[in-house]
Amino acid sequence: METLQGKRKINSDTIFDICVYFLCAIVFFVVAYPLYFVIIASVSDSTMVSTGQVLLLPKGFSLYGYQEIFQDPRIWTGYRNTMIYSFGGTFVNLLLTLPAAYVLSRQEFRARRPLMFFFIFTMFFNGGLIPTYLLMKDLQLLDTMWVFIFNPLTVNVFNLIIARTFFENTIPKEMYEAATMDGCNHFTFFWKIVLPLSKAVISVIGLYYLVWHWNDFFTGLIYIRDYSLQPLQIVLRDILLSNQVSMQGTGSGDTGGGYAQRYADQIKYGVIIVATLPILLLYPFIQKYFEKGVMIGSVKG
């Protein structure tokens, strides 16, 4: 009888595992296929893509879209600018967010609740576009690279709350008490103890900041007129617009128009790959920290 029950239990566990693997495979397919489709569509004939003939393998293979994108000298200027804005901006974001979160996590700091109220207030109310533009103008940040790094979103309140919650729930109070007995002040404790123990939260909010800077095109659209300072997103947007204008200008009956129409989707999907590939390549290097820190915000503090 016990053997029969054990076999039934093993069989039920096996069936459950098969169902879990099957559901995971479906979820993976739903998430991964759109990205895979963008890749194969970027090297396929646009006519076949628009008619639904491209599903699993590329058809009418051509790298025309990537040639059109990378032969434009503006693309390299945009990459350079975006790299500077993304990594420089992320460094400044972390430089301001982490110390602020540490201070607000200290219970002995009496003003932490009123200050936290002012931070949270900005999540629901802000000055709007025109006052912000006038502020950037008065600070002489228009048409400078600094407007991408120092702006009203330099400290994201959501990331601040994540970091504060991590410090409150992960760094024991007894650790600071033991450090003070050895002559350690708050600055030394934060630099030598808190930061090395906070790789998970630093990776998570650093990735959030980096992705936001990488995808930011609104700042360049509003505050920048010098094209040599425009980020990659604005450059790719202009390439798409110029491609659409050339298609409309040549006309569908013209040979040039038919050629442009044939490879229009290659440029469109190629732009998506060029814009997202660097960030996708960055994920595997911080995945182990991201898995540890992604649930930090779910802990109430």
3-state secondary structure of 253: coil
**Is pLDDT at 258 greater than 70 in this prediction?**
no
Calculate the CA dihedral of residues 72, 73, 76, 82 and round it to 10 degrees: -90
Whole-model pTM: value is: 0.77
- 95 pLDDT band (50/70/90 cuts)? very high
Question: So what's the pLDDT on residue 291?
Answer: 58
Model confidence at 253, pLDDT cuts 50, 70, 90, reads: very low
pLDDT band at residue 249, thresholds of 50, 70 and 90?
Answer: low
pLDDT tens profile 113-163: 888 898 888 888 877 888 888 988 998 989 899 999 888 788 889 999 989
User: Residues with Cβ < 8 Å from 214, sequence gap 6 or more?
Assistant: 82, 86, 232, 278, 279
If you average pLDDT over every residue of the chain, what do you get? 80
- Which residue's structure tokens are 């992960």? 170
pLDDT for the residue numbered 250: 52
- Over residues 24-34, the pLDDT tens digits come to 999 988 888 88
Looking at the predicted structure, is the pLDDT value of residue 261 above 60? no
CB contact at 8 A, 156 and 98? no
Nearest alpha carbon to residue 54 among 40, 33, 66, 68? 40
Model pLDDT, residue 259: 43
Residue 253: Cβ-neighbour burial (10 angstroms; 0-12, 13-18, 19+): exposed
Q: Which pLDDT score is estimated for 292?
A: 57
Assigned token pair, 235 = 């450059």
Query: Do 263 and 65 form a contact (C-beta atoms < 8 A)?
Result: yes
Share of the chain above pLDDT 90, in %: 12
Does residue 201 or residue 52 have the better pLDDT?
201
Angle at 49 between CA 45 and CA 55, to 5 degrees: 115
Question: What pLDDT is recorded for position 9?
Answer: 56
What confidence tier does 300 reach under pLDDT thresholds 50, 70, 90?
very low
pLDDT tens digits along 205-241:
988 899 899 988 888 888 988 888 889 888 888 877 7
Locate 145 and state its tokens: 């690279």
Whole-number pLDDT of residue 168: 86
pLDDT at 88: 92
pLDDT of res. 120: 87
The owner of tokens 């947007």 is: 237
Which residue matches tokens 């990735």? 207
pLDDT value at 10 more than 50: yes
